[in-house]
Amino acid sequence: MSSPLNEVKSLAGRHALVTGGGRGIGAACARALLLRGASVTLAGRDGARLEQAALELHALLADEPALAESCRVAIRTMDVGDEASVREGFAAAAERLGRIDVLVNNAGQAHAAPFLKTSGEDWRRMLEVNLGGVFHCTQAALPAMLESGWGRIVNIASTAGLTGYRYVSAYTAAKHGVVGLTRALALEVAAKGVTVNAVCPGFTETDIVKDAVANIMLKTGRSEEQARAELAAGNPQQRLIQSEEVAHAVAWLCLPESGAMNGQALAVAGGEVM
């Protein structure tokens, strides 16, 4: 089955590594990058989930002979919050599929609680995964990009990184940190062929939103439909964002033609943040 995306092969010969690549936004990003000609490494902690996602990508390649000739898919189990795990995982990924040209820092977690009920452990975990993971993975991938004179780094932040949200103070602080890191690093590498950008989705149909819906239902007694409507209410389009919509924005930022995009934080949120 052909796809309109197959008309664009601008990433042919490139190797993209996507963290949190086993599901949701990460899996959608991997698919979008593969359809644009890149070989893809799916990284994450859940090996079984990564294997399933890889099978789906292999099935996609089976339907696209032109891509199957040049694109490869691999998985790599790692914990982005653990520097040693990241270093080892990135080295193994590069050894298998070549230098990492594109890095999508997607892995993340969310925890909801009033500020005074947010424990120190919760705070550290949110920063370790959502911000520390971006730091560790970028440090592992960037040297080779600078050496080659070309690279694309896209950090999946959140509209929470552009504004404030109630009851997710640690998550919001971490995502603000991701946006700040994006802007600072973008300036450092601006003249070196590497771009660094952030994509900031609104509430998106992912496991994190499923957990948020369950939490709202538990604490308020609302139905699933009412809980989902509450999350969608902040979007002027009155809907949840789809993972594929986020992936299209990510893939565009990774194209050679998008080289002038640097240090940006793009909101994919139906106009929620302007």
H or E, element range at 140: helix 133-148
Give the residue from 34, 96, 26 showing the smallest Cα distance to 244. 26
What confidence tier does 7 reach under pLDDT thresholds 50, 70, 90?
Answer: very low
8-state DSSP, 75: E
The two structure tokens encoding residue 14: 């490139």
The 10s digit of each residue's pLDDT in 225-234 is: 787 777 778 8
Q: Say which residue the tokens 């070549």 belong to.
A: 98
The predicted pLDDT at position 208 comes to 73
The predicted pLDDT at position 231 comes to 78
Rounded-to-integer distance, Cα 20 and Cα 76, Å: 11
Burial class (CB within 10 angstroms; exposed 0-12, middle 13-18, buried 19+) of 136: buried
Catalytic-labelled residue, pool 111, 132, 157, 171: 171
Q: Is residue 1 over pLDDT 50?
A: no
Report the pLDDT averaged over residues 45-72.
93
Q: What CATH code is assigned to 4-202+241-267?
A: 3.40.50.720
Q: Over pLDDT 90: what percentage of the chain?
A: 80
C-beta separation of 202 from 159 below 8 A: yes
Name the least confident of 16-25, 83-92, 166-175, 215-224: 215-224
The 10s digit of each residue's pLDDT in 68-122 is: 888 999 999 999 999 999 999 999 999 999 999 999 999 999 998 999 999 999 9
The 10s digit of each residue's pLDDT in 235-268 is: 899 899 999 999 999 999 999 999 999 999 999 9
What confidence tier does 65 reach under pLDDT thresholds 50, 70, 90?
Answer: confident
Query: What residue ranges do the domains of the chain occupy?
Result: 4-202+241-267
Q: How much is the mean pLDDT over the chain?
A: 93
8-state DSSP, 242: P
C-beta separation of 21 from 29 below 8 A: yes
8-state DSSP, 129: I
Give the residue from 16, 6, 13 showing the smallest Cα distance to 154. 16
pTM of this structure: 0.92
Sign of the CA dihedral with 130 first, then 132, 133, and 139 last: positive
Active site residue 167: no
